[in-house]
Amino acid sequence: MPTLIILDASLSMMRPLATSAMPLDPANTETRRSVAQTCLCSMLDYISANDRMEFCALVAYSSLYEVLMPFTRDHNELKIAIQSMDTYDKTLLDNVLLNMSNYVMEEWGSNTPVKVLLVTDGNPGIGPGSLRHILSEMSHQTDPSKNPLPFVFPSELHVLLISSHSELAQNNALSLYQRLVDANESGQVHTPAEGALTVKSVQNMFMKYAESQHSVFRTTLHCGNLCSDVQLFPHPKVATVEMDTEVVTREVGPDLHVCGFLDMGDVVSPASISRHLVIPYNSKDKSQSSPDGKDAEKTEDDPTSSTTAEEGKTPSFCVLLHGSLKINNMVALVQITDDWYGILYSWADSKKKSNMMLSIFDPGSKAVPWLGKFTLLGPCLAFDQNPYGEDDNKSPFPVIPDSKRSYAQNPVVWIKNSNLQSDVQKILRYARKLPDKTQVFYKELNRLRRATLSFGMQDFLEGISQLLERECTLLPPTAHPDAAIQLTHAAKLVKNSVNKDYNYSIAPLSTNFTGNT
């Protein structure tokens, strides 16, 4: 889940971190912005160590906003942008929130969940543009599309307030920011621990957020007697299942069990609730055991460290499984928990690099309808005859149902103007090729007539009749004589068939030119 960092760059962020209860030290006075910059850099170090596949972007805002760093995995560039940002004027939060929807939509579209991290000093402001004014305008706005929240993309809004509880209570800022998060319908407000506002309390707030949102999700992949510690990215969410009498929640557990293997062609494009990158996890990697990243720095600075060399020599079942699935073009059916399944497969975003992915299905044993119940699947050796037959390209899946579904009837759909225009143009194309396309012309004409009557568009048949008469007058001198006769005949019957039965069909006129008597 990409993370969008929105950092307050207003003048109020330059206030000293110390409050009246803490005496100021002229030699070392930390501002709220400098502490925010330091904590954000530490948080990016934690993400680099534990969630290195995460995309992050940085936006600074005041009365205007500026994208200082677009979405990237280069966290060092992000830290440089954080440290080099300037200070601007007053805060106008609605401007940046409203424009961030367009920015994220251009980068990720409307289906990718994004974490929005708002870092500010908690000053709600006064007058137009203040937080209280924004919430008031949102409550009275009749057009939801003009409201900055909720975002038009799936999102979580997290607000980190660099302010003491006493300061937040003076201007009722905490409840205002909570209303802002509630307007987005997902997210949380984070504050330092109660007491005096210190650098340590702000650091703890940022670290708690990082540990809750960017921690390693570790699980163990089992296949018979083989197993491997793996990491899933992004962090899997809790699945909710609505049963007949209750709502059941399912959560990915510490173990994944491979039940069997299927050909890739048997499980093409199944419906899934989430997809995750499966990465081998080295439990001996010290860089992921320390939240502050100190062990990671020590490993990088130590030239005698052989962590990378040891990883290359250590056998990994995860690597073996990935290679086998890729070469044999197969998928592995995985049981996540009781009555919850997914598949492991090799996925490549380029010709040279591939990764192992986990697609998680909806909870239940019938998540892939054409496979039936997962619990009833078995090896081919259990059957008297190989269901695949002698031909390796033959597959028993998907199983075609006996009953013919309604969506297999190829109905006429006129949701958009282009669909209706396309059907009319098709009839006119066949009309210009008369008499060679006589049968196809009348078939499409009857199809259009039945659809028109179904939608209650009787006046549309009058327009079709006029189009056919006009087409008759535009025929070139070299046209076949039967073309004009058939067009005149069709135009007349289309006009007169408005009150006829739905199943009535317009038949072509028998002429001497077509060989009929």
* Long-range contacts of residues 416-424, Cβ cutoff 8 Å, at least 24 apart: 423/448, 423/451, 424/448, 424/464, 424/467
Predicted pLDDT of residue 143: 75
Burial track 79-104 (b if 16+ CB lie within 10 A, e otherwise): bebbeebeebeebbbbbbbbbbbebb
Higher pLDDT, 299 or 243: 243
Residue 447 located in a structural domain: yes
Predicted pLDDT of residue 300: 41
Residue 292 located in a structural domain: yes
- Sign of the Cα torsion 382, 383, 388, 392 reads positive
Predicted pLDDT of residue 292: 46
Q: Are 316 and 280 in contact (CB under 8 A)?
A: yes
Do 209 and 237 lie in one domain? The reply is no
Do 157 and 64 lie in one domain? The reply is yes
Token output for 262:
């299927």
Report the distance separating Cα 59 and Cα 64, nearest Å.
10
Closest to 190 (Cα-Cα) out of 15, 87, 36: 36
Predicted pLDDT of residue 245: 75
Res 291 pLDDT > 50: no
End-to-end CA distance of the chain: 73
Residue at a domain's end among 213, 233, 265: 213
Q: Give the model confidence (pLDDT) of 256-270 as tens digits.
A: 999 999 888 888 888
pLDDT bin (cut points 50, 70, 90) of residue 196 is: confident
Token output for 478:
């070299």
Report the distance separating Cα 354 and Cα 446, nearest Å.
51
Residue 391 located in a structural domain: no
- Sign of the Cα torsion 161, 162, 165, 166 reads negative
Instruction: Kindly report the CATH number assigned to the domain that includes residue 198.
Output: 3.40.50.410
Do 199 and 238 lie in one domain? The reply is no
Report the distance separating Cα 210 and Cα 271, nearest Å.
31
Q: Give the model confidence (pLDDT) of 165-190 as tens digits.
A: 988 888 889 999 999 999 998 899 99
Predicted pLDDT of residue 171: 84
Instruction: Kindly report the CATH number assigned to the domain that includes residue 358.
Output: 2.40.290
What residues contact 355, with CB distance under 8 A and at least 6 apart?
277, 278, 322, 346, 347, 348, 349
Do 81 and 101 lie in one domain? The reply is yes
Look-up: residue for tokens 């007491």?
A: 195
Do 287 and 361 lie in one domain? The reply is yes
Predicted pLDDT of residue 361: 92
Report the distance separating Cα 174 and Cα 331, nearest Å.
50
Residue 228 located in a structural domain: yes
Do 200 and 236 lie in one domain? The reply is no
Do 194 and 237 lie in one domain? The reply is no
Do 334 and 445 lie in one domain? The reply is no
Token output for 215:
């921690």
Residue at a domain's end among 382, 401, 425: 382
Residue 193 located in a structural domain: yes
Do 237 and 283 lie in one domain? The reply is yes
Predicted pLDDT of residue 44: 94
Res 275 pLDDT > 50: yes
Do 280 and 256 lie in one domain? The reply is yes
What residues contact 119, with CB distance under 8 A and at least 6 apart?
5, 6, 7, 8, 36, 40, 160, 162
Q: In what order do the strands lie in the sheet with 65-72?
A: 65-72, 56-61, 3-8, 114-120, 155-161, 187-190
Residue 392 located in a structural domain: no
Predicted pLDDT of residue 516: 44
Q: Give mean pLDDT, residues 202-217.
A: 91
Res 290 pLDDT > 90: no
Q: Are 420 and 413 in contact (CB under 8 A)?
A: no
Closest to 223 (Cα-Cα) out of 354, 315, 318, 312: 318
Average pLDDT, the chain: 83
Q: Count up the domains in the chain and report the number.
A: 3
Do 448 and 486 lie in one domain? The reply is yes
Q: Are 168 and 127 in contact (CB under 8 A)?
A: no
Do 223 and 133 lie in one domain? The reply is no
Residues belonging to the chain: 517
Using DSSP, state whether 452 is helix, strand or coil.
helix
Q: Are 241 and 247 in contact (CB under 8 A)?
A: yes
Report the distance separating Cα 344 and Cα 213, nearest Å.
25
| Cα-to-chain-centroid distance, residue 374 | 27
Report the distance separating Cα 486 and Cα 341, nearest Å.
61
Angle at alpha carbon of residue 404, lines to 402 and 408, rounded to 5°: 140
Res 68 pLDDT > 90: yes
- The domain of 460 spans 417-496
Residue 402 located in a structural domain: no
Residue 306 located in a structural domain: no
Report the distance separating Cα 473 and Cα 487, nearest Å.
10
Q: Are 54 and 43 in contact (CB under 8 A)?
A: no
Q: How far is CA 466 from CA 174, 463, 488, 495, in A?
A: 69, 5, 10, 9
- Sign of the Cα torsion 137, 143, 144, 146 reads negative
Report the distance separating Cα 100 and Cα 65, nearest Å.
10
Beta strands in 129-198 (DSSP E): 155-161, 187-190
Res 303 pLDDT > 50: no
